[in-house]
Chains A and B, each alone.
Chain A
């Protein structure tokens, strides 16, 4: 019995591990793991220094955490000790979250290459060239002046993270395509073109691939052929392009696909037909975080209103909302009865799943130092001071300062009671 229990435990742990090997944990982007995470923060187990900010989320397989860094590397780090196993060097920031499947680690770099490297050695197996990665850009973006100038979006922080299903790896690209590549060889199976950058991560369910584009459409295509099944037109903002585009990645649960959108809505669609079930408007705040679904409740967070929200999925009605003080781009990661996410004010928060009450928070040292007075004393953004000018490059410089306090864009990974999360301060933290 003891041996059987041990075997079952090993199998159970293996199941947990395999469910944490890509963005949002699995191919439907559930954001829910059966692991338990700390309800009380004891401290920093280890921290790992990279050479630039880490917006990539960590994933886990076989005792190793994998993550990208804007220093151009993908790292494999021992989950227990924080010691580097290997790193793979690319020629651009790795702002996507790796996916680990079948002994390969897949990721997209700003150098315009999609890579597959060996999980144990970090050696290249194949790479695929996109038409180039870049930020979303638009004239007069977010009200930046002059209105006739094209600006890059400093808040378009992520590249698309791959999802692996049925021997195929799917990812979006700034060239407007979603690609389906043979997971073993990197051979192109199909590509689907949208009207603008695709930085959301595709989700896979029942032979279909779901994703949003910055062209304001949400698409569903056949996973085998790339043929379009349905599309949904989100909000438009032709003047300042602020309330447009899908930066959030979808989650699929019980035949419903949920996604946030920069048009300030969270949408629920019938996964088969695309029929809109409901939407929740968030008063102009972006919903860039990818939702999680657990126990009939959808969890997500917002940017400017800085809310962590729970919505009843059957009715599309709010269950609770909690104030986080600053923008949230990080996606809620559910482990047991606790939910974890990062906040751009440099904090990682752990909250009770049923009430949203704050259990603990971890604050980066850069956030505590509050360099450039990015934060007001209450932990909110000190926007009047930061954004004193909206002309030329000033707002972009201000946003860069904003991130410099160790903003947490990454989504926490929870494995065996430890929370792994990257920060814009260049570190990946293991918290227990």
Chain B
């Protein structure tokens, strides 16, 4: 009985020591001609799985999730996916500093980071389920560059998970747009395509007409797009 608290304290200390990478790291990357400020948050969950996010204040990157995180002793490797051309970090930590190399576009630059506190990993933007009145297949048409584009969106719920969408646009070509996120907020539903497409559908469900009145947005282009339930598509 007298041993157990000491054992637990030892285990806790050991566990903490085993994860010196878990922290907020702040410092700079020495890109030629430009000292780039970077903030990295790394944390480990109860199952030992690593998660992290990165912020580049000068490059409009805030809380982008880290990918392919590998922590082997004092050695750390991870990548950034979907921003800045997918750069990666590789370095070592002694628990107070984290130094190494930043790789991007075939270029390599050194970085020096210091532990500045506890990790504040940005949670990824997750979607939501959609209400039952939005589930099903919706269709609408919009004009772009003189061509009619028929859009079909199928919204599906999944137990314990956010809704998903199939997003198909048929014009001169038939394109299935990969969807990253579906979220409903009140009457509003937002469908974000994978980042490289820069496509967002945003619409408001109108009970009176049974339509989703919205816009198809790609970069600076915003075109009205009203969706109607496809006949035969169950509510």
- In the complex, the answer to whether B104 meets A382 with C-beta atoms within 8 Å is yes
- In the complex, the answer to whether A370 meets B84 with C-beta atoms within 8 Å is no
Q: Does B85 contact A (CB under 8 A)?
A: yes
> Which B residues from 58 to 87 make CB contacts under 8 A with A?
59-61, 83-87
- CB-nearest residue of chain B to A370: B32
* Contact code string B178-220 (vs A, CB < 8 Å = 1, else 0): 0000000000000000000000000000000000000000011
Q: Which A residues are CB-close (under 8 A) to B83?
A: 384, 388
- CB-nearest residue of chain B to A144: B220
> Which B residues from 147 to 187 make CB contacts under 8 A with A?
none
Q: Which A residues are CB-close (under 8 A) to B219?
A: 143, 145, 240, 390
Shortest CB-to-CB span from A223 to chain B, Å, is: 38
Q: Does B233 contact A (CB under 8 A)?
A: no
- CB-nearest residue of chain A to B33: A371
Q: Which A residues are CB-close (under 8 A) to B49?
A: none
Q: Does B105 contact A (CB under 8 A)?
A: yes
Which stretch in A170-178, A244-252, A372-380, A424-432 binds the other chain?
A: A372-380
Interface residues of A, CB < 8 Å — how many? 25
Bound: A268/B94 CA distance, A: 66
- CB-nearest residue of chain A to B104: A385
Q: Which B residues are CB-close (under 8 A) to A165?
A: none
Shortest CB-to-CB span from B34 to chain A, Å, is: 5
> Which A residues from 144 to 161 make CB contacts under 8 A with B?
144-145, 147
- In the complex, the answer to whether A388 meets B84 with C-beta atoms within 8 Å is yes
Shortest CB-to-CB span from A393 to chain B, Å, is: 13
- In the complex, the answer to whether A388 meets B220 with C-beta atoms within 8 Å is no
Bound: A389/B33 CA distance, A: 20
Q: Does B107 contact A (CB under 8 A)?
A: yes
Q: Does A227 contact B (CB under 8 A)?
A: no
Shortest CB-to-CB span from A139 to chain B, Å, is: 9
Shortest CB-to-CB span from A28 to chain B, Å, is: 36
Which A residues are within 8 Å of any B CB, using their own CB?
A: 140, 143-145, 147, 239-240, 369-373, 375-378, 382-385, 388-391, 394
Q: List 11 A-B contacts (CB under 8 A).
A: A140-B220, A147-B220, A147-B221, A372-B32, A372-B33, A373-B105, A378-B106, A383-B85, A384-B84, A388-B56, A389-B60
Apart from A240-B219, A382-B104, A388-B60, what are 6 other A-B pairs with CB-CB below 8 Å?
A239-B221, A240-B220, A240-B221, A372-B33, A377-B105, A385-B84
